[in-house]
Amino acid sequence: MNISKIERRALEMLSFGGRIIVEKAGRTTLVEVSFVSREGWFLDGIGEKEFRALRSKKLILSRNGGDYRITRKGIEALQQARRP
């Protein structure tokens, strides 16, 4: 699977314990998407567009209304991207 550099950075962060926090207005309207590392640092340059791409490729998933985390498919795509 082809993933962009930005998507790869986001998946790397998520694989090391990071998370994605999504703020919504109502049920469907996105207000803000924040990519946060496990140390609490925010990842700049990644926003709603990349979030939607990762979600549509099913590389990230939210369970029971919680934060978005990397899926097994996301880990496999990341491993494939790391190969030379």
CA–CA dist 28, 51 (Å, integer): 14
Whether residue 82 lies inside any domain: the answer is no
Angle 43-53-67 from CA coordinates, rounded to 5°: 55
Total domains, the chain: 1
pLDDT digit string (tens) for 35-51? 999 999 998 888 899 99
Q: Is residue 45 part of a domain?
A: yes
Residue 84 in domain: no
Q: For residue 26, give its domain range.
A: 5-75
Burial 23-57 (b: 16+ CB within 10 A, else e): eeeeeeeeeebebbeeeeeebeebeeebbebbeeb
What tens-digit pLDDT sequence spans the chain (84 residues)? 789 999 999 999 999 999 898 888 988 888 899 999 999 999 888 889 999 999 999 999 999 988 898 999 999 999 999 887
- Does residue 32 lie in a domain region? yes
Question: If phi over 0 gives left and psi between -120 and 50 gives alpha, with beta otherwise, what is residue 21?
Answer: beta
Query: Looking at the domain assignment, is residue 81 inside a domain?
Result: no
Task: Note whether residue 43 is domain-resident.
Answer: yes
